[in-house]
Structure 1
Amino acid sequence: MIKKSLLLFSFFIVFYTAAFPQDGTRAIDYNTRSTGRGGVSIGFFDNPSTMLTNPAGMSFIRKPVLNANAIFMVPITHFKNYVKDANGNTTATVLNDADGDKMLYVMPSLSYVHNFKDSKFTLGAGVFTTGGMGTEGKFKHQLFANPSFSTNYQEQVYRSRFAIIESVISGSFLITPQFSVGVTGEFVYSTLELSQPFSLPPSFLKGNLMTSMGMTTYAKYFSDPKPVGLGYKELTAFAEMTNLKSYTFGGKIGFAYKCSDKFSVGASYTLSVPLNYKNGSATMDMSSQFSEASGVAAQNLVNVYHISLDSAAKLVAALFAANGINPYAGFVANYDVNNEFKTPQSAGLGFMYSPMPKLRLGFDFEWLNWSKAFEKMTLTLTNGTNSNINKMLVNGTPGSDALIVEFPMKWKDAIILKFGGEYDISKVLTLRAGYSYSQNPIPEETIIPIMPAILEHHIMTGCSYDLIKQLTLDMTLEYGLKNTVTGTNPHQVATEYNNSESSLQNLLGHISLTYMF
């Protein structure tokens, strides 16, 4: 049987390697059985995923057990924002009011717990997709318009892929027949990809610019009020980051007390894990932004000197050419990119109470320290390949300092409350139901459509059925109720998000097979 288990585990790793990019928001729990009762798991000790929620609970799993689990998720996103006027002010005219693409994400896991006969030690191992985010949609951006039709906006891809996969080894020790302590060591592998229009203030342009009025900087030229400058408060490029990978380690500790079959309690603590993504690739396309800026510069000359627009455009082209800007080199740059942020530390407390035979009720409380983990993303770009962009930015070019961008997130700490129960209809059938409430951690000033992890209310129902004496099938349906967050004005990420609305609802199906040896 051990040989068969190893073969099954090897097959799962092959499948898992292909499946891990299909990520989603953080799961309520990592096992179908626990999710069916609202995700209550810290004080329930009845399946191998306890090594992720409270490893001490493994001591009360009396037989070796193997579990294969999968979560199938379809997030439904919606984005609405508004047109800006010529001065950059947000109007009441709708620009986007559209759903994102509906996509299926699969989050598999495989875990095994071995309880040694006549020993106080219990060991466990597993591979879990523990979290992430994934959205994709095509939305309009005012900068990217057909030159012949100023309101014929070209849709841009807004896309995120963020996955966290953990390979874990756990151990628990039964100090007394009722009290256990456990630890889990984690090898954490994470991937990150982002695509969207990306805005920065003109102050990032460190290059010098010689004009008819003397030496200045690109930053000053682009930001000074018209007609002396171009009057920009932000500059936008279409940006894409791919192949970012992080390898690191984490851990957790848990305590479990099982007073009797009627009452048990557990507590756990999880370390924050640094995610230092290395050796990624980034592409930054400033073609549309530079084209628009050239048009603004030409219009400035028309307004001041009353010349034709064609003559003004030629003067602007000559100005940039004199400063080494070559239009034939284009405005698309490739970079090497690194990225840094963290997963949150967390702490939890859970209870199980059985008021009558066949009925078990549970409650979990969790605290997630998002405020320290997701304060910002630090992007480091080096080895820029485009000569025109290099002249304007300076930083990020070969032989110069890196271009460092601190992307604001400013997530807030969150409390999660989980309630649920289960009832044994017969010896082979158990029904479950539950509810989970989680505070939305994303503030209005940084909410964006590619990171809409804003769900607050989840409802679940599920069941277990013993296919044979040793093999149990678990199934759960989960619905994350729609939540909408309205961005502030001004918004801290980009003006396109001023007064914008980002919405998310989630449909999930969970299924698992559990084999008791």
Structure 2
Amino acid sequence: MNLGINIIKRNKFPRSNGGLVSLFIILLFFSSLNYSSVHGFQGIMPTSFGARQAGMGGAFQAIGGSVMDLESNPSHLARLTTPKWEFGTSVHFARIEYSDSFMDQDPNLSYQNKIVETPRAVFPYIGYIQPVTDRLGIGFALYTQGGGGGSFSNITRISPGKQSLNDTLNGDVPFGTERKIQEDLKFKFMLTKLTIGAGYRFGNLSVGLGLDLAYAFMEMKKTNLDLSRTIELPGSIAYNSDPAYSYGGKLGFSYDLSSNVRIAYSYTLRNVLHMDGQIKVEGEDPIIKNGSRVSRYMVWPDRHIFGISYRTNSWIFDFDIKFIPWSRSFRTNRFVLDQPLVTTPIGLESNVMQMNFRWRDQYCFALGAEYEWKYGFRFRGGYSYAKTPMTPQGLNPMLGTTNEHHLAGGLGYYTSNGSALHLAVEYAFPKSMKGSESSDWALSHSIFSAKEIQLAQFQFNKSVSVLSISFGIEKNI
């Protein structure tokens, strides 16, 4: 099995059980808007949620006044003076550059790959907030919070065990002496949330609570093909998760130190997503596809955000610090099959596959400003930095981004009847990362048998850049 995973010999254990909740039908409909591979920008999370926030580089924790406060800090709902609905979307245009090479003593087995993919992703949002009293505000928001993925085709590889096509198929076929194959990869993960929340004000202090209902799914497919791309070969695998549902919550505080300065803090709980599903493995007989139920779960991490804002008659400034403990949830992930269908490069059969991401914790810093000009126009700008949580030991072409520096600008137009239009553009600068020889991805492409291990011969790199365009409309009622 050549998928960038470790396969462990282990007895199976019972699958986790998860119930379907009819409330999430709306989430299923909402998620259908995400029609392509999705990409986040700080790990697998966007830097911002909402078009106004995007124009300020995601620096919005201590500002408030948006429906998407339900995503970041619901305490700001306590300061509402009028009902408001808001909707919008962000369209992310990613550029993924992946390259690898393998140098063998036999020059006929050496290869190089260089692939550039330009997927796009749509992250929509919609919500409604309203004051109940001069101290209490409530609301709801539905939004896509994150995801990751990619699609790569026509990757040159060496066949498992360096077998010829004739040996693999146990026959005599055209190009039967060829020991190279083609590999196609597809991976997709998406998480959508519905948040219902409220904020209450005690003098200068506001406190907010939110209930998060989450929906997620994952697809993963690796296909081995002969060089003519007509025969699917052993080692191909396809996994589709069942719809996964979870609940969580968030707690937010904001305090007005003066009429100009506000500080804020919020904590969002993690979501445990039970992603049992179905897996199919292409065995030695190309006509027979072996299928099995698979048990697995993944954890969407918790999050801490602190922010401080300063405002004058014309200016608003905000500085945020965000902490995401990726290492607790994106270190390893296991797939446990009902039966041992997978074979390791050294010939062992197993029912457990383990993916080692080895992500590290992440601190994110964002600085943003908004200037109120005249004729209802507001100009925005922002910058954010976060060291990528990916490590060379966990690098692979499918999940996670390498971006660290993000620059954003935006424009808002407010009318006299309470409507507003927001536009924003953000660019995540490209950053290249070289994979480690000890990574799962390298091991899976350099071990052919117990006696043929060629770790130093396989090298790979990944670089990601993203251009994001955000659009939003809000209306005071």
TM range, normalised to the smaller chain?
Answer: 0.7 to 0.9
User: What is the 5 A alignment of 1:28-67?
Assistant: 28-67=47-86
1:225 counterpart residue number: none
Structure 1 position 20, deviation (Å): 3.8
| Structure 2 equivalent of residue 367 of structure 1 | 323
In the other structure, the counterpart of 1:98 is 115
- TM superposition shift of 1:469: 2.1
1:112 and 2:112 are equivalent in the alignment: no
Partner in structure 1 of residue 157 of structure 2: 142
How much has 1:491 moved relative to structure 2?
Answer: 2.4
Number of the residue aligned with 2:209: 183
Residue in 2 that maps onto 1:18? 32
Letter in 2 for 1:483: K
1:492 to 431, 436, 440: 440
How far residue 335 of structure 1 moved from its aligned partner, in angstroms, is 1.8
Q: Structure 1 pair 286/463, CA: closer, same or farther in 2 (3 Å)?
A: same
Change (3 A) 1:439 1:126: same
Q: Give the secondary-structure state (helix, strand or coil) at the position aligned to 1:56.
A: helix
Three-state SS of the structure 1 residue aligned to 2:273 is strand
Q: Is the 8 A contact 1:24 1:162 kept in 2?
A: no
Determine if the alignment matches structure 1 residue 381 to structure 2 residue 337.
yes
- Cα pair 2:61 2:318 within 8 Å, conserved: no
Match of residue 272 from structure 2: 274
After TM superposition, the score normalised by the length of structure 1 is 0.74
Q: CA deviation at 1:237?
A: 1.9
The correspondence of residues 209-288 of structure 1 with structure 2, limited to 5 A, is 237-278=235-276, 280-287=277-284
The separation in 2 between residues aligned to 1:353 and 1:149, in whole angstroms, is 70
Deviation at 1:381, TM superposition (A): 1.3
1 or 2 for the larger relative contact order (CA 8 Å, sep ≥6)?
2
> CA offset at residue 427 of structure 1?
4.4
Amino acid at match of 2:187: S
Of 480, 490, 505, 2:465 maps to: 505
- Give matches, 1:329-478, under 5 Å: 330=287, 332-354=289-311, 356-382=312-338, 403-467=351-415, 469-478=417-426
**What's 1:165 paired with?**
192
Deviation at 1:466, TM superposition (A): 2.1
Aligned to 1:315: none
- Structure with more helix by fraction: 1
Alpha carbons 1:463, 1:475 under 8 Å: kept: yes
In the TM superposition, residue 272 of structure 1 has moved relative to its aligned partner by 1.6
Q: Deviations over 1:308-333 (max 9, x none)?
A: xxxxxxxxxxxxxxxxxxx5x75642
Identity of aligned residues (%): 18
> Offset of 1:16 from its aligned partner?
2.0
- For the Cα contact (< 8 Å) 1:429–1:463, is it kept in 2? yes
Taking the aligned partners of 1:342 and 1:41, their CA distance within structure 2 comes to 26
2:209 and 2:340 map into 1 onto residues whose CA distance is 45
CA deviation after TM superposition for structure 1 residue 128, in Å:
0.9
Distance 1:14 1:334 in 2: 26
Give the whole-Å Cα distance in 1 for the aligned partners of 2:373 and 2:177. 65
User: 2 CA distance for matches of 1:238 and 1:467?
Assistant: 57
Structure 1 residue 133: deviation in Å?
A: 0.8
1:69-106 superposed Cα distances (whole Å, 9 cap, x missing partner) = 2011111111111124269x9x9x65111212x22211
* 8 A contact 2:27–2:192 mirrored in 1: no
Give me the whole-angstrom Cα distance separating, in 2, the residues matched to 1:360 and 1:134. 36
Q: 1:16 to 1:251 in 2, by over 3 A?
A: same
Partner residue in 1 for 2:97: 78
Cα distance between partner residues in 1 of 2:412 and 2:430:
28
Q: Matched residues in 1 for 2:116 and 2:180: separation?
A: 17
Aligned amino acid, residue 247 of structure 1: Y
Cα gap change, 1:140/1:351 in structure 2, threshold over 3 Å: closer, same or farther?
same
Q: Look up the SS of the partner of 1:58 in the other structure.
A: helix
**Partner SS, residue 78 of structure 1:** strand
Mapped partners of 1:467, 1:152: distance in 2: 67
* 8 Å contact from structure 1 (residues 366, 416) kept in 2: yes
Per the alignment, in what secondary structure is the counterpart of residue 19 of structure 1? coil
- Contact 2:39-2:401 at 8 Å conserved across structures: no
Q: CA deviation at 1:139?
A: 4.0
Counterpart CA distance in 1 for 2:35 and 2:144 is: 10
* CA distance in structure 2 between the aligned counterparts of 1:34 and 1:425, rounded to whole angstroms: 18
Deviates more, 1:164-173 or 1:464-473: 464-473
Paired residue secondary structure (2:58)? coil
RMSD: 2.9
Q: Distance in 1 between matches of 2:467 and 2:405?
A: 12
Task: Compute the displacement of 1:130 (Å).
Answer: 0.5
What does the per-residue CA deviation read over 1:372-399, in whole Å, with 9 as the maximum and x for residues that have no partner? 011111111125789x99xx8665xxxx
Equivalent pair of 1:140/1:153 in contact (CA under 8 Å)? no
Q: 1:468, CA displacement in angstroms?
A: 5.0
- Give the structure with higher Rg (CA): 1
Shift of 1:63: 1.5
Aligned counterpart, 1:7: none
SS of equivalent to 2:77? helix
Deviations 1:140-160 (A, max 9, x none): 242358762877854322221
Distance 2:415 2:235 in 1: 56
Segments ≥4 residues shifted beyond 4 Å = 10-15, 144-147, 149-154, 383-386, 392-395
The match for 2:427 is 479
Change (3 A) 1:374 1:17: closer
Report Cα offsets for 1:85-135 as digits up to 9, x if no partner: 269x9x9x65111212x22211111111111134x2211111110001121
The residue type equivalent to 1:504 in the other structure is V
C-alpha separation between the residues in 1 aligned to 2:398 and 2:353? 18
Contact 1:24/1:163 (8 A) holds in 2: no
Which of 126, 139, 142 in structure 2 is aligned with 1:124?
139
Residues in 2 aligned to 1:196 and 1:159: alpha-carbon distance in whole angstroms? 6
Contact in 2 for aligned 1:12/1:110 (Cα 8 Å):
no
How far apart are the structure 1 equivalents of 2:237 and 2:104? 24
TM-score by length of 2: 0.80
Gaps of 5+ in 1: 1-9, 199-235, 288-326, 396-402
Q: How many Å apart are 1:18 and its aligned residue?
A: 2.4
- Matches of 1:242 and 1:16, distance apart in 2: 19
Q: Which amino acid aligns with 2:266?
A: S
Q: Equivalent residue of 2:440, what SS?
A: coil
Question: Is the partner of 1:371 in helix, strand or coil?
Answer: helix
Aligned to 2:171: none
Q: 1: distance between equivalents of 2:146 and 2:176?
A: 43
